[in-house]
Amino acid sequence: MPDAAPVITLEGVTVLYGAQRALQDVTARFEAGAVGLLGPNGAGKSTMIKALLGFVKPTSGRMRVLGYDVAASPLPIRARVGYMPESDAHIPGMNAVSFVAYCGELAGLPRVDAMQRAHEVLFYVGLGEARYRNVETYSTGMKQRIKLAQALVHDPDLLLLDEPTNGMDPKGRDEMLALVRDLAHRKGVNVIVSSHLLPDVEYTCDHVVVMDKGRVATEGPIAALKQPRGRVYELRVKAAELQTFIAALSAAGLECHETDEDVMRVFVPGDGGARDIFTLASTSGVQVRHLRPSVPTLEDVFAHAVGEK
């Protein structure tokens, strides 16, 4: 929905924790639909969410959520926003259905409606069978689900999910991501997914805002950001020659990122191609053991945005 009004806008927002600048002059817009808030730990993602909810007050700048000014209208915003915090959070001494219904009542739903919604939402997130258990007895994965349920119970227009797959096993993680994707793409709920996990964001979101060191490194539709600004190759050389060759590539203006394996990803800008890499390898006396054309991934976008090598 490129023409739709943004659900969130930030203009020159700075947040200080004492002398620490958690957000530095951040200007960004979050489009309707599913937007990933991506960045390494400490990038300012959670701080941004807490500022949007009014938990922390920016020292400068303006924020608007769903058309409301955050500083002037925090309550109308919170009535239409669901927040899933990063850390474990629940109301002590309650079973799941009471907890979720209570959250619905706090959000303004009548008691009967809140209880009905609680049952529905708990089934939706996969906790239907465990809804009469005390939340304190839940596993980590179940606690993640119940946090999503309490965020959903009052039917928000915007969901703020802070690291929604934290601590979940692979199956639970897949199910959580499927839920988030379903909410955003089939149920018409705007979703902001804050995560440091690239695959999570890539699977659930259409747009991304990449944060680094309290600033927005890049933002836009994921598909557009992944458009190649040149060509990408997977490359492997002898381990002993790796650093020499990286230096040679960088000197020639070719960007390269190391991956978890022994494979590098090399970006050849403009009209260049594999021949440039072979020429450089020949000049440097490096033996190329693997070279294969590739396509840019969100990881490349992220690495490029935050300047990782």
Partner 1 sequence: MPIHDQGYRRYGGERAPHGRAWAVIASAGVRTMLRKRAFLGLLLLAWAPFFVRAVQIYAAANLPQAAFLAPTPEMFRDFLTQQNVFVFFIAVYAGSGLIASDRRANALQIYLSKPLLRVEYVFGKLAVLLVFLLAVTWVPAIVLLIVQVMFAGNFTFFVDNIFLFPAITLSAFIQTITVSVTMLALSSLSRSSRYVGVLYAGVIFFTQAMYGVLYEVTRDSGWSWVSFSANLSQVNAFIFRMRPAYDTPWPLSLLVLAAVIALSAVILERRVRGVEVVA
Assign 244 to helix, strand or coil. helix
Binding to partner 1 by residue 179, rule CB under 8 A? yes
Binding to partner 1 by residue 89, rule CB under 8 A? yes
Binding to partner 1 by residue 7, rule CB under 8 A? no
- Residues in the interface with partner 1 (CB under 8 A) total 55
Q: Are strands 158-162 and 81-84 parallel, antiparallel or unpaired?
A: parallel
Binding mask 18-57 toward partner 1 (x if CB under 8 A, else -) reads xxx-----------------------------x--xxxx-
Assign 223 to helix, strand or coil. helix
Binding to partner 1 by residue 66, rule CB under 8 A? no
Q: Which is catalytic among the residues 11, 120, 163, 175?
A: 163
Residues 116-145 that bind partner 1 (CB under 8 A): 117, 120-121, 123-126, 128, 136
Pick the closer one to partner 1 by CB: 73 or 294: 73
| Least gap, CB of 298 to partner 1 (angstroms) | 23
| Least gap, CB of 81 to partner 1 (angstroms) | 7
Burial class of residue 224 in the structure, from the number of CB atoms within 10 Å of its CB (0-12 exposed, 13-18 middle, 19+ buried): exposed
| Least gap, CB of 18 to partner 1 (angstroms) | 3
DSSP conformation class of 111: H
Binding to partner 1 by residue 191, rule CB under 8 A? no
| Least gap, CB of 162 to partner 1 (angstroms) | 10
Q: Strand 34-38's sheet: what is its strand order? A: 81-84, 158-162, 190-195, 34-38, 207-212, 215-221
Only segment of 14-22, 61-69, 218-226, 268-276 that touches partner 1 (CB under 8 A): 14-22
One of 178, 273, 282, 289 touching partner 1 (CB under 8 A)? 178
For residues 45 and 30, the answer to whether their CB atoms sit within 8 Å is no
Binding to partner 1 by residue 150, rule CB under 8 A? yes
Which residues are CB-contacts of 58 (< 8 A; sequence separation ≥ 6)? 13, 14, 15, 23, 51
d(CA 76, CA 64): 12
Residues 244-303 that bind partner 1 (CB under 8 A): none
Binding mask 151-170 toward partner 1 (x if CB under 8 A, else -) reads xx-xx---------------
Amino acid in the structure at residue 290:
H
Which residues are CB-contacts of 148 (< 8 A; sequence separation ≥ 6)? 84, 125, 161, 164, 176, 179
Binding to partner 1 by residue 183, rule CB under 8 A? yes
As given in the structure block, the two tokens for residue 131 are: 């809804």
φ, ψ of residue 177 in degrees (nearest 5): -65, -35
DSSP conformation class of 70: T
Pick the closer one to partner 1 by CB: 129 or 260: 129
Binding to partner 1 by residue 88, rule CB under 8 A? yes
- Is 163 marked active-site? yes
As given in the structure block, the two tokens for residue 290 are: 């693997």
d(CA 137, CA 166): 18
Q: What is the contact surface with partner 1 in residues (CB under 8 A)? A: 17-20, 50, 53-56, 75-76, 78-79, 81-83, 85, 87-94, 102-103, 105-110, 113, 117, 120-121, 123-126, 128, 136, 150-152, 154-155, 175, 178-179, 182-183, 187-188
Residues tagged active-site: 163
